[in-house]
Structure 1
């Protein structure tokens, strides 16, 4: 008699799956990047920054003379290499006035290169560490960031690393969100995330507690960034990251040190973001309607801050 057909073997449990080799990972990444070698079209590389995932260089396009920023990430030196896909896919697929524009991406030997617009105004961090922003300037920054977040959240994208380092400025004071390496996508099927991702001082309590979370974690981090604009640094910045995370997880929501410098409407705006109860925390779309943003000016009001910083760096 014929032997009965055996059922197909069950998929092996997660832990027994063969780990993806470096070559397989590289091949998968090759599918999403653009073809070609950017070293043929770019010249005059100058390193301008270094982050947790790689270095950033300034370079010049040979044919146009345009300056571009190039983020170079070594595939072998990543704590979570699967997050590299975000660097390419998020900026490529979600274009917005307040999101840094990506021109192209490529695999160059063992590195992922992301070529994007160069923002000469630099990161907001330089400004908040040198100067206290007035409320018009604070509202103007928040409006730009909230426009970007409201759009990304509507597309199911959580940024997960909102802080002053992730906010870049143009010379004429326009605000753009960058650093998409830690993003997560949520959907009807996967409505929440759980992994511990971000930068300690800006992390929402629910992220630190490893509870399921959604787009509201970005709103908390923006609240911490507003504290940076008022106080010059986030809460608990003199503590070690671990101590700060314990305080953020266990204690009442932080606020600004310089409470005397804060108007009632800004205090209310902050309270809408730095709320431990995620159900009570405002969404980015709600915050765009908050009366504090009526104080937002045109990007021009940020130009003096950019120029001050460039003078200090003697870049002018």
Structure 2
């Protein structure tokens, strides 16, 4: 697969993620790159990801070694591109977390992804909001398998404990083991992150060693937000049992009433794909437009009429924009001066949008 590297999507301590465009199909993909001499973890991630096929796991698109201008070799992992970012992005953008119906939907999809991984004998080891992507369809997908490991048929006792302290299970924080039950604990922590906009153990957030000690040895579990429904609280209790053998499995959790809620209406889904910004401050939208322009994609609108016609009113199912008729009233119209290609006109139109 031939591709061209585009803008930077994110940077980690040892790898950088870029957007890229495939030459043959025009598909936008994500490319995770690291120097070949330091890419063992990335090659390991590629090996695991290449063996997986689930709508709830980010899609594998291949791997490729390229040369940089400095003549150094770079290992590239090619993956499905998620235009709406991560669950953590959406929760933070929303200010104080997501609505319960919304994060119940994401939780159900995360659990389905984990059920699939666990059936393959794979433990993710780093479930958290920033490792759950929102795909083009608006569904959640588990990503970033840099910490993942195989535990079936027998766990490898030589495998180090990996992950993020605030999402780490007590047995993992103590360095004892890290199995499927540890992923379930991390799901509980991720639900709290989606509900509040912040990860658990925020009091110790600046000191990972304090977090690890509190998780591993205090005997406490993360505080369950008081504003949640009883169903959500009960779900979290099933995930956040300190004894790993008492936590529910992914298959059991899929039958819990909390994740059986009806999905929210598409127009109410934070982070869902939209052809228009909801306001001039909608930075996520404008970033996506800039990204397409950076990658050499033409504007998605061919005229002002079509652009206005694609606007929608989030939450009301969207009005019908008919520029040829209806009860439209011209509020202001001004034509003054010229621009290259014709006249410069400004106009504002109003109508019934209820």
TM range (shorter): 0.7 to 0.9
Deviates more, 1:181-190 or 1:282-291: 181-190
Shift in Å, 1:151: 0.6
Aligned residue in 1 for 2:220: 253
Indicate whether 1:300 and 2:266 are aligned: yes
Correspondent of 1:243 among 210, 215, 237: 210
Question: Which ranges in structure 2 are unaligned for 5 or more consecutive residues?
Answer: 68-72, 290-354
RMSD over equivalenced CA pairs, Å: 2.3
Kept in 1, the 8 Å contact 2:232–2:258? The answer is yes
| Alpha-carbon distance in structure 2 between the residues aligned to 1:296 and 1:276 | 30
Shift in Å, 1:304: 3.3
| Alpha-carbon distance in structure 1 between the residues aligned to 2:100 and 2:7 | 36
Aligned residue in 1 for 2:79: 116
Aligned residue in 1 for 2:170: 205
Structure with greater Cα Rg: 2
Aligned residue in 1 for 2:22: 61
SS in 1 for 2:63: strand
Correspondent of 1:311 among 276, 279, 282: 282
SS in 2 for 1:65: coil
Question: Which ranges in structure 1 are unaligned for 5 or more consecutive residues?
Answer: 1-37
TM superposition outliers: structure 1 runs of 4+ over 6 Å = none
Shift in Å, 1:254: 2.8
- Cα deviation digits, residues 126-181 of structure 1 (max 9, x gap): 11122221111111001110111001101110000100011001243111111011
Larger fraction in helix:
1
SS in 1 for 2:234: helix
Q: How does 1:1-316 map to 2 (within 5 A)?
A: 41-77=2-38, 81=40, 83-109=41-67, 110-131=73-94, 132-190=97-155, 195-239=160-204, 240-256=207-223, 258-259=225-226, 261-297=227-263, 300=266, 303-306=269-272, 311-313=282-284, 314-315=286-287
Larger relative contact order (CA 8 Å, sep ≥ 6): 1
Kept in 2, the 8 Å contact 1:59–1:70? The answer is yes
| Alpha-carbon distance in structure 1 between the residues aligned to 2:147 and 2:10 | 18
| Alpha-carbon distance in structure 1 between the residues aligned to 2:118 and 2:268 | 26
| Alpha-carbon distance in structure 1 between the residues aligned to 2:30 and 2:234 | 38
Kept in 1, the 8 Å contact 2:42–2:77? The answer is no
| Alpha-carbon distance in structure 1 between the residues aligned to 2:174 and 2:262 | 34
SS in 1 for 2:88: helix
| Alpha-carbon distance in structure 2 between the residues aligned to 1:166 and 1:103 | 18
- Cα deviation digits, residues 31-87 of structure 1 (max 9, x gap): xxxxxxx6xx21252111112330011111112111111110224346xx3x33332
Deviates more, 1:300-309 or 1:129-138: 300-309
Q: 1:194 to 1:102 in 2, by over 3 A?
A: closer
Q: 1:115 to 1:92 in 2, by over 3 A?
A: same
| Alpha-carbon distance in structure 1 between the residues aligned to 2:5 and 2:187 | 36
- Cα deviation digits, residues 6-44 of structure 1 (max 9, x gap): xxxxxxxxxxxxxxxxxxxxxxxxxxxxxxxx6xx2125
Kept in 1, the 8 Å contact 2:161–2:177? The answer is no
